[in-house]
Amino acid sequence: MDIIAALAQELNLKPAAVEAAVALIDEGNTIPFIARYRKEATGGMDDVALRTLDDRLTYLRNLEQRKEDVILLIGAQGKLTPELEAEIRAAAQLQRVEDLYKPYRKKRQTRAQKAREAGLEPLANMIIMQVTSKGSPLEAAAPFVTPEAAEAGYDTPEKALAGAQDIVAETVAEDPENVADLRSFTENTGEIVAVAVDADEKTPYEPYYDFSEPARKIPNHRILAIDRGEREGKLRVRVGVDAQEAVARLGSRWPRRQGGFAPVLDAAVADGYRRLMAPSLERELRARLTVRAQTEAIRVFAKNLESLLSARPVRGARIISLDPGYRTGCKVAVLDETGKLLDHGVVYPTPPRRDVAGTKRELARLVKRYGINTIVIGNGTASRETEEVVSGFIAETAPELRYTIVNEAGASVYSASELASREYPDLDVTTRGAMSLGRRLQDPLAELVKIPPQSIGVGQYQHDLDQTELSRTLGHVVEDVVNRVGVDVNTASASLLAYVSGITPTVAHNIVAYREEHGAFTDRRQLKEVPKLGPKAFQNAAGFLRIAGGANPLDATAVHPESYAVAREVLRRADVAPTDLAAGGVPDIEQRVGSVSALAGELGCGLLTLFDILDELKKPGRDPRDDAPEVVFSRAALSIDDLQPGMELTGTVRNVVDFGAFVDVGVHQDGLVHISKLSTRFVKHPSDVVAVGDTVKVWVERVDRERGKISLTMVKGK
């Protein structure tokens, strides 16, 4: 297979761009580096396109290797024909290679193998070829009752004929074309059927107690729900297929049958389907549906995570961060604008102590002493009661204050982690958790990278997914966002630095150790002095590591050091000193330099690269997160009891799943906007309309106070 040509055709890309991208990947360049600094070579592929190419490249290379392995294995058996080798080499999917290899695969002793060893294969061939015989099938089988056959258990013509049928059944079931045809039939006509193990038991899986849906139509979230119900022993699940039609379809693939062997072949075909083909094809279908559902769930999780990590930082917030609780109280952490801990303690606004007055006095003291302008509340246990107290405090005492609810998913994972212990060895777990909540508001990206991505809680069925693939995909998302934003090498934690292109966790810790020993970095070239940060790592990382206030103003931008000469020449032609960049950049630089394409030719610089350089010189170190929606703050608390159908509210999208979006409207319990209520037009997937962090206008549709469920719509009057 010409892998470059195959990738170009499959991904609708130019072969030259694919070849260049593959070469760059093979040279050890990272996806973020290639996407940002090798645009001319790849034709401007972004990180998403490059990751897709990388995944398919790995698949196709593995496919080619598997073809070679299979050819060698079949050849070692002396059964490889030129025609079979050509079929294997022409296979475009791993499944096809495995289908072709199946008849030659070593397997445990089967009924067919036992019959072959007893010398019954010639009789099986007679059945397959429908040999015309003067006598009955039993008379034809009699000569095969040899001493060897009898010793193996085939001591009568009936048993010999049955053994030959077993050979025919396996031959039918392992024929690659038969398998491909019946696989397609199963996929197109099969139904997923679920029934309750105990129909009287109340479980979340009651919608599936008597359930069936065509496999080709069943939505991904239902597949995941049914899979979980089966694992938990609440559902029995099978694939429903019309076996009679399947057998007829399989039989139609053989020559028209007449004569004595016809019923024998019919019986063998039916046995081959029911005993050998159907179970494996149904397992395959279930597995494919699960993989499809998991792949989509991981994709949605990744998109949600990207939106969450790309949320706008709230700069200038001096914060009281509250991690609510009942018996142990509400943990308090006070943070300055940089996230530095100023004070911490505990208040008890909730039962059993319910010290509301004492809590308000302590909040007033902290607000006055530390100049607080924002209060952050975690959305976990006792959040609702804590919010009521904070809302009352603001209304009575500090109307200039604002507050917001922060999703605390993963905060406990971080606060109890080894990383948190190293960062704050003198603080207890609860204080670390409260600090983390406040910092999530100040800089979501810098704080959330400390938590395993799958613990952040913006997906569906995340604990049921392939954890290796989930971690790999989410890790790529974090890496892409971190490098898109850029990292201040003098303030970033080792956790954040480890996601920078080309930087391993070990090198990240070495960077932190270097700046602790030698002081702040003042020049990107100093990175070369960090232990284990070699030339290739420097090339991959340098453009994403920023140095504010250093000796070279370009070090504070996304301009790569390899392009500094071009950037300086552009500034010279624009009559701008490099030091002027610190004052906010050169907004009119394109007008100053004239034709960009002509300038690119004169400087020997790629046009796409030059456009990127000009963008950086216009707004040095610009944070792309500033384009994200602003955080919605509250000043008064609402209760679910305050909600009425038709009420208009503004909320924040907290999670996007296959069947809709969950929106925080300030009542502690997120409301669901079903996919059918997201827009007046058809919506294929909720992520096509909304993203995590979006601010949306919604209307209350229904409120189930007893179950704590809120139904919302984004279509007025619907």
pLDDT per residue as tens digits for the range 157-180: 999 999 999 999 999 999 999 999
Same domain, 622 and 667: no
pLDDT for 149 = 93
CATH, residue 669: 2.40.50.140
Gap between the Cα atoms of 48 and 688, Å rounded: 16
Whether the CB-CB separation of 161 and 123 falls below 8 Å is answered with yes
CATH, residue 17: 1.10.10.650
The yes-or-no verdict on residue 462 having pLDDT over 90 is no
pLDDT grade for 457, boundaries at 50, 70 and 90: confident
pLDDT for 635 = 66
Same domain, 291 and 154: yes
Same domain, 431 and 550: no
Query: What is the residue-wise DSSP string for 477-504?
Result: HHHHHHHHH-EETTT--HHHHTTSTT--
CATH, residue 240: 1.10.3500.10
pLDDT grade for 592, boundaries at 50, 70 and 90: very high
pLDDT for 667 = 78
Mark which of 627, 651, 669 sits at the end of a domain: 627
pLDDT for 423 = 86
Mark which of 230, 265, 296 sits at the end of a domain: 296
Is residue 480, in this structure, part of any structural domain at all?
Answer: no
The closest alpha carbon to 566, from 603, 511, 513, belongs to: 603
Same domain, 548 and 656: no
Gap between the Cα atoms of 179 and 170, Å rounded: 11
CATH, residue 612: 1.10.150.310
The yes-or-no verdict on residue 151 having pLDDT over 80 is yes
Same domain, 200 and 162: yes
Alpha carbons within 13 A on the beta-carbon side of 381: 10
Same domain, 529 and 601: yes
Same domain, 153 and 292: yes
pLDDT per residue as tens digits for the range 269-283: 999 999 999 999 999
Same domain, 348 and 279: no
pLDDT per residue as tens digits for the range 322-331: 999 999 999 9
Q: Could you tell me what percent of the chain has a pLDDT over 70?
A: 99
Mark which of 594, 627, 660 sits at the end of a domain: 627
Same domain, 615 and 650: no
Is residue 306, in this structure, part of any structural domain at all?
Answer: no
pLDDT grade for 718, boundaries at 50, 70 and 90: low
Give me the domain span that covers residue 42: 3-104
Q: Could you tell me what percent of the chain has a pLDDT over 90?
A: 77
Is residue 477, in this structure, part of any structural domain at all?
Answer: no
The yes-or-no verdict on residue 256 having pLDDT over 70 is no
Whether the CB-CB separation of 363 and 347 falls below 8 Å is answered with yes
Tokens read off for 625: 């997160």
Distance from CA of residue 178 to its chain's centroid? 35
Which of 28-42, 245-259, 539-553, 585-599 has the least mean pLDDT?
245-259
Same domain, 170 and 288: yes
Whether the CB-CB separation of 130 and 259 falls below 8 Å is answered with yes
The yes-or-no verdict on residue 636 having pLDDT over 80 is no
Is residue 230, in this structure, part of any structural domain at all?
Answer: yes
Distance from CA of residue 632 to its chain's centroid? 27
Is residue 523, in this structure, part of any structural domain at all?
Answer: yes
Is residue 134, in this structure, part of any structural domain at all?
Answer: no
Q: Please give the mean pLDDT across all residues of the chain.
A: 92
Distances (CA, A) of 493 to 343, 413, 472, 489: 21, 17, 21, 9
Ramachandran region, residue 486 (left: φ > 0; alpha: ψ -120 to 50; beta: rest)? left
pLDDT for 717 = 74
Is residue 80, in this structure, part of any structural domain at all?
Answer: yes
The yes-or-no verdict on residue 44 having pLDDT over 60 is yes
Whether the CB-CB separation of 245 and 262 falls below 8 Å is answered with no
pLDDT for 637 = 64
Q: Which of 112-121, 462-471, 646-655 has the highest mean pLDDT?
A: 112-121
How much helix, strand and coil, in percent to the nearest 5, is found in the chain? 55, 10, 35
The yes-or-no verdict on residue 668 having pLDDT over 80 is no
The yes-or-no verdict on residue 298 having pLDDT over 70 is yes
Alpha carbons within 13 A on the beta-carbon side of 641: 1
Total number of domains constituting the chain: 5
Region 635-640: mean pLDDT is 72
Same domain, 256 and 202: yes
Tokens read off for 97: 């290679």
Is residue 457, in this structure, part of any structural domain at all?
Answer: no
The yes-or-no verdict on residue 693 having pLDDT over 90 is no
Burial state string for 608-633 with b = 16 or more CB within 10 A and e = fewer than 16:
bbbbbbbbbbbebbbeebeebeebbe
Whether the CB-CB separation of 512 and 533 falls below 8 Å is answered with no
Region 21-31: mean pLDDT is 97
The closest alpha carbon to 248, from 160, 200, 317, 182, belongs to: 182
Same domain, 154 and 289: yes
CATH, residue 424: 3.30.420.140
Predicted structure pTM score: 0.85
